[in-house]
Amino acid sequence: MSLHSAVCAKQDNMTIQGLIRVPDDPADLGRVCLGSGPLATCLNAVCNGRADCVAYPDNPLYQVSWVSRYNLDLPVTPIAVTRPQTAQDVSGFVKCAASNNVKVQPKSGGHSYANYGLGGDDGALVIDLLKMQDFSIDTKTWQATIGGGTRLDDVTKKLHKNGKRAISHGTCPGVGIGGHATIGGLGPSSRMWGSCLDHVLEVEVVTADGSIKRASPTENQGLFFALKGAGAGFGIITKFVMKTHPEPGNIVQYSYSISLGKHADMVPVFKQWQDLVSDPNLDRRFGTEFVAHELGAIITATFYGTEAEWKASGIPKRIPKGKVSVVIDDWLGAIAQQAQEAALYLSDIHTAFTVRSLAFTAEETLSEATITKVMKYLDDTNRGTLIWFLIFDATGGAISDIPMNATAYSHRDKIMFCQGYGIGIPVLSQQTKDFMSGLIGTIQDSARQTLTTYPGYIDPSLANPQQSYWGPNLETLESIKATYDPNDLFHNPQSVRPKSKKLL
């Protein structure tokens, strides 16, 4: 008897969930089997004989590539993975899940720190938008229509080839626009142009009842509000209509590496960097990160202008001294350099890691005493790994021009984020998890109030994630959820719940 047949025969120890009988014993969780239930029948009917359209846990495609966990420390077993080609396909898959009481999560690039693009909980239906990469641009309005499964690297290249246009987005090329532009989408040009979601003018979206809708400031306004910051809990966007900008001309890339005897020696360096990014009048053409790691720190910065404009901004005199790398005259070169720098600490590599994050207003930045405590903690604590990072990103600028209640994204008042990563070699140890929790705890304990965080930097350990991610917009989002998805079909462990079904 094959393993598949043997497992399927043990129905007395299984929990039947429409399509897949998932073993009650967590040790057997990966040995799920395909049944002939109504969900399978429905999904197969939508595919209508097409190959490469749906994969189940006993399918080699599912095992080898369709379920590709970004964080290898967090196992998850979707009930099935679908790859639609059209919005009608997405609609059909959503209706199949709804009629079989199965939760749904869309996947675009698959870079969720907690594998929420695979559901986050076992038994979800994943709708992978990999094949939905349509692209067009209106050369009169310079508005681009972009398929929900397009990766940021392809977005950049397609915009460049079609009029040398650009939008603001993050630095990891493999991130998908579907997740990025529905949760925030922060990158080096965000202080100048706003977040990625601030470029979204209209969307085509499939809602929980399977309807294909348009959402914009004038049509389904409440849904549009929610999709711009909390998208995974409200629908599956198949197309974005986005405003674009002319590519910047000259770009100055700045990089400064420092390696001192101990992290405590970096206290004045970090303070100088933080003082710079805390300046409310800081030139918006400037984006920067401070990255602490095992051997010291790196400060990366991008200035969208000429070298003469860079010097005239006054920033070179205020930033910790380092070497300006090169003036890059083209946008694609700058994007490639940023992707290379991002790859140094996570990017597209699938690893076992722990991550924690915090957000800061101008009043919540680290005092010199807190900076000293953090650096001492780094020096004195056994980390359980040699690969860890504490990354601080400057934000604000154009992002803060938009009112906090204009979109679901609630961090308009933040000027800085931090993300702490601890990476397992090859597996993640409890010691590394404790190290990272203690590091973020050292910062949090010194704050004058509870710090929140950005939902793009998913923190699975949060006690009240919805409040932390969406804060003052949460109550509005819960009401919108109750209208468009009252049964919480679009669900992951930290998504917005409908008002009548809030988790207490």
Domain ranges of the chain: 3-128, 135-247+470-487, 251-467
C-beta separation of 155 from 177 below 8 A: yes
User: At the top level of CATH, which class does the domain 3-128 belong to?
Assistant: alpha beta
Average pLDDT over residues 261-267: 92
- Which pLDDT score, from 0 to 100, does residue 338 have? 77
CB atoms within 10 A of CB 32: 27
CA distance 449 to 4: 53
Cβ-proximal residues to 220 (8 Å cutoff; 6+ apart), any chain: 213, 214
- Which pLDDT score, from 0 to 100, does residue 450 have? 85
**pLDDT > 70: percent of the chain:** 89
Classify the C-alpha dihedral 99-100-104-108 as positive or negative.
negative
CA distance 408 to 73: 30
Chain centroid to CA 71: 13
**Would you give the DSSP letter of residue 401?**
G
Average pLDDT over residues 462-481: 97
Owner of token pair 């910065």: 301
Biggest alpha carbon–alpha carbon distance for the chain: 75
Average pLDDT over residues 4-11: 32
C-beta separation of 397 from 282 below 8 A: yes
C-beta separation of 168 from 440 below 8 A: no
C-beta separation of 436 from 361 below 8 A: no
The residue type of 273 is W
CA distance 339 to 335: 6
Average pLDDT, the chain: 88
User: Domain 135-247+470-487 carries which CATH code?
Assistant: 3.30.465.10
DSSP letters spanning 217-246: SSSSHHHHHHHHHHGGGT-EEEEEEEE-EE
Look at 379 and 343; give whichever has higher pLDDT.
Answer: 379
Residue 307 pLDDT grade (very low, low, confident, very high; cuts 50, 70, 90): confident
The residue type of 292 is A
User: Domain 251-467 carries which CATH code?
Assistant: 3.40.462.20
- Which pLDDT score, from 0 to 100, does residue 417 have? 97
- The count of C-alpha atoms lying within 13 angstroms of the C-alpha of 400, restricted to the half-sphere facing its C-beta, is 15
Average pLDDT over residues 214-224: 98
CA distance 427 to 424: 5
**Token reading at 189:** 């040009």
**Token reading at 193:** 């142009």
C-alpha distances in angstroms, 355 versus 237, 436, 457? 27, 7, 8
**pLDDT > 90: percent of the chain:** 73
- Which pLDDT score, from 0 to 100, does residue 193 have? 98
Residue 74 pLDDT grade (very low, low, confident, very high; cuts 50, 70, 90): very high
Give the range among 34-48, 66-80, 219-233, 455-469 with minimum mean pLDDT: 34-48
Residue 23 has pLDDT above 70, yes or no: no
Tens digits of residue pLDDT in 89-147: 999 999 999 999 999 999 998 889 899 999 988 899 999 999 999 999 999 999 999 99
Our CA dihedral for 18, 23, 27, 32, rounded to 10 degrees, sits at -50
Q: What angle do CA 35, 38, 40 make, to 5 degrees?
A: 55
CA distance 57 to 38: 16
Residue 14 has pLDDT above 60, yes or no: no
